[in-house]
Amino acid sequence: MPRQHLPVAPEGRPCAAVTSNIQPRAFDRWNSAIRAETVEDERSIGIYDVIGYDWWTGEGVTAKRVAAALRSMGPGPVTVNINSPGGDMFEGLAIYNILREHDGEVTVKVLGLAASAASVIAMAGDTVQIARAGFLMIHNCWVMAVGNRHDLREIADTMEPFDAAMADIYSVRSGISVEDVQKLMDGETWINGSAAVEQGFADELLASDQVKQGEQKNASAVRRLEAALRASGMPKSEAMKLISEFKSSAGDPAGSGAGDPTEHDAPMPVIDLSASLNAIKSIQIQGV
């Protein structure tokens, strides 16, 4: 698709009191182990993490990092491999713009999941390829906001241009009317590989031999816990504090009387964070 025909996304954030977040359902359906079969070369960018800075690992895919990678490559073709549950929508819009401005052909390969902010990034490709078992997920910007009732009314109003920009990006890429795209976004729509090609969100299916199963990332379970806690209404600072305390408590086995086990102590218990996530989902959190 000619790059001059694709719209530019708005830059920045509506206000400091708004943060864009990952839908917990996206974490549930994300297999973080999916990678490109071939080793990425100097002309490739791998988006295999949450979009935006990740507090838990100090990693995450940011506009700054993508821009630095493109600068090191210089003009010319670039391949962007994506398997991400999404994240910071505003950071995703910035990455989209950076890829659109790149001086060279951009090929996007959706290897597993391109949800939310990652689906916006996927639309930046001059050519978009998707695995047959891959998925796009599109929805309205999902945020955490703080403030009084007047602030919240204002935040709802200021989010509209960002949702409109995303609808415009999806519409121009797919050829679907903006009104119909907005209905898909309102309903949080999951689009599999074949449907993505049929509906115009992608140009072609990836060959199955271009995708492999790597190692599952341990940090993904912790992120899912955070997302579930925050979806319940718990502030980010409280969620991070609770999980940090939960993790550190594993270092003090019951009855040991010490926080740092030695070689003579019982082995440190292994915490099943995925099971903990399921337990948290069943709890109605009070007082937050």
User: Over the stretch 76-118, which tens digit does the pLDDT of each residue have?
Assistant: 999 999 999 998 888 999 999 999 999 999 999 999 999 999 9
Residue listed under structure tokens 């009314």? 153
Task: Look over the chain and give the mean of its residue pLDDT values, rounded to a whole number.
Answer: 78
Residue type for 85, please?
P
Q: What is the pTM of this model?
A: 0.71
Where does residue 150 rank: exposed (0-12), middle (13-18), buried (19+ CB within 10 A)? Answer: exposed
SS3 content of the chain, % helix, strand, coil (to 5): 40, 15, 40
Number of neighbours of residue 255 by Cβ within 10 angstroms:
6
* Whole-number Cα distances in Å, 35 to 81, 112, 165, 232: 8, 8, 29, 31
Residue with tokens 């994300």: 30
Tell me the domains of the chain and their CATH numbers.
15-213 (3.90.226.10), 219-281 (no CATH)
**Both structure tokens of 209:** 């031999």
Between these two residues, 248 and 184, which has the higher pLDDT value?
Answer: 184
CA–CA dist 78, 119 (Å, integer) = 18
Instruction: Please say whether the beta carbons of 192 and 135 come within 8 A.
Output: yes
Q: What is the pLDDT of residues 120-162, one digit of tens each?
A: 999 999 999 999 999 999 999 877 677 788 888 888 888 888 8
Tokens representing 174 are: 């797919």
Spatial CA neighbour of 202 closest among 141, 114, 140: 114
Residue 218 has pLDDT above 90, yes or no: no
For 28, the enclosing helix (H) or strand (E) is helix 24-28
CA count, 13 A, side-chain hemisphere, 138: 26
Q: Please state, as a whole number, how many other Cβ atoms lie within 10 Å of the Cβ of residue 73.
A: 17
**Consecutive H or E run containing 82:** strand 78-84
**Is the distance from CB of 88 to CB of 55 less than 8 angstroms?**
no
- Report residue 215's pLDDT band, with 50, 70 and 90 as the boundaries: low
Q: What is the pLDDT of residue 287?
A: 36
At 221-276, the pLDDT tens digits run 566 666 666 666 676 667 667 766 665 655 444 433 333 433 434 443 444 544 55
Helix ranges (DSSP H) in 212-286 = 219-231, 236-248, 273-281
Q: In sequence order, what are the beta bridge partners of 192?
A: 135
Q: How far apart are CA 113 and CA 32, in angstroms?
A: 9
Nearest Cα neighbor of 98 from 144, 128, 67, 54 is: 67
pLDDT value, residue 32: 83
